[in-house]
Amino acid sequence: MAVVLITGSNSGFGLEGALAFARNGDTVYATMRDVAKGGRLQRAADGEQLSLKIAALDVNQPKTFDAFIRQVVDEAGRIDVLVNNAGIVRPGALEDISEPALRVVMETNFFGPLLLTRSVLPTMRAQGSGFIIMMSSLSGLAGLPGDLPYAASKFALEGATEALRHEIDRWGIKLALVEAGMYATAIFDSSMSGDALLPADYPVDSPYRPLIASRLKEVHDRMPQAFHPGPVGELFVTIAQSDGTRFRWPADEVAEKVLGTMLGQNDAGRDQFLRMVAGTDWWSEGKSHAD
């Protein structure tokens, strides 16, 4: 059985992935920034009589990565699978988002997974095997208004992962991207504060406020139809057991459709598709609100 390390395991995809690997009989290190938030995962594992290890790992603290990897290898002897799942969202228009907010999204969603991957690579090279799974998003394929920091971080992650794939394949190390649509996970919680659905500190006088409010309302209204993250946890296990030939894995039928559309269009077709998906023609046409 494999030794598996997962980030962001206190909820959503990370929690479901930790349980799925544990059901498979794997040795699971389910990490999160604050282990005090691991109660839900532990209760779920106990309820199914599953064994897993909950450990503290902050993806924004790369200086701790090497020591943590050494600890896992000392205890388990190897690391076979790394699932880079932890991520955050900060909605807003570029003019309205502070530099620290932009940077924390990039640190969490891009630099964190990339640097943790760098820390685990020497172990996997020595083993001559390993599988690294990056949790991406349709936002890594389609940059929509109001989603700029998150889209930028996921576009960067996609490009880095694609390049890295060819750097490390000679050592039998495999890489995969999971492309997900909208899921009912805690990642949107910080984006849904107050009656207006805007972050509490969003500039009141922003000229972009109607656009961002409209986009967040759309997300909020669609949440009842959002996918449950459970199947994505099972998908992690499926990917880890695959031969590594497939690189991009759609997590759901929406993602599969978007992948097929976005990867086969010219610039004009892509732009038209994005405007249709975002539903923001009203904004580009200078109107005050959506029709």
Nearest to 197 by CA among 228, 218, 174, 170: 218
Residue 72: its H or E element: helix 65-76
**How many other β-carbons are positioned within 10 Å of the β-carbon of residue 237?**
20
- Among this protein's residues, is 208 annotated catalytic? no
CB 4 within 8 A of CB 130: no
Strand order of the sheet with strand 53-56? 53-56, 27-32, 3-6, 81-84, 130-135, 173-179, 248-250
Write the CA distances from 140 to 54, 110, 265, integer angstroms.
29, 11, 16
Of the candidates 265, 240, 260, the one whose C-alpha atom is nearest the C-alpha of residue 176 is: 240
- Under 8 Å between Cβ of 248 and 179: yes
User: Of 29, 150, 183, 202, which one is the catalytic site residue?
Assistant: 150
Q: Indicate which residues carry an active-site annotation.
A: 150
